[in-house]
Amino acid sequence: MMKRNLTLLAGLFLALGVNHGAMAAKMPMKSYHQEMFTSADGSVDCQACHGDQKPYSAPATETCLGCHGPMEDLVEATKRPGHGAEFEPNPHDSLHYGTDLNCAYCHAEHKKPQVYCNQCHEFKYPDMKRK
């Protein structure tokens, strides 16, 4: 009985592993990432962003910066014209978190992005790319 249960469990894990590739190919991705991380046979290289650990978790900021450039450049590119209530702060240089907030808190690959700061504030960030 124990051997049969282990065989069934192993079969289930194998089936989940086989389906993972098919599931990944159906997950929504931004077109520019899809072009970079999808092979000719349609398989997606999830590990490029998520690493080897499973279950997958949000990519580390260092992983994002490996392709998108250093944080200093992102801070400079999103610099705001002033300070005070009439200006939205630089989203890459938060007054609360500095430059330490993980990219995935706002930018999302497989779902709609959200402004993390809007849990307490009401910033619009009109240039934020949305799906």
Q: Convert the pLDDT of each residue in 55-92 to its tens digit.
A: 889 999 999 999 999 999 999 998 887 766 667 888 89
**Model pTM greater than 0.85?**
no
Length of the chain: 131
SS3 98: strand
Closest of 39, 44, 41 to residue 25, by C-alpha: 44
DSSP 28-67: ---HHHHHHHB-TTS-B-THHHH-S-SS--PPPHHHHHHH
Asked if residues 43 and 25 have their Cβ atoms less than 8 Å apart, the reply is yes
Q: What percent of the chain has pLDDT over 90?
A: 33
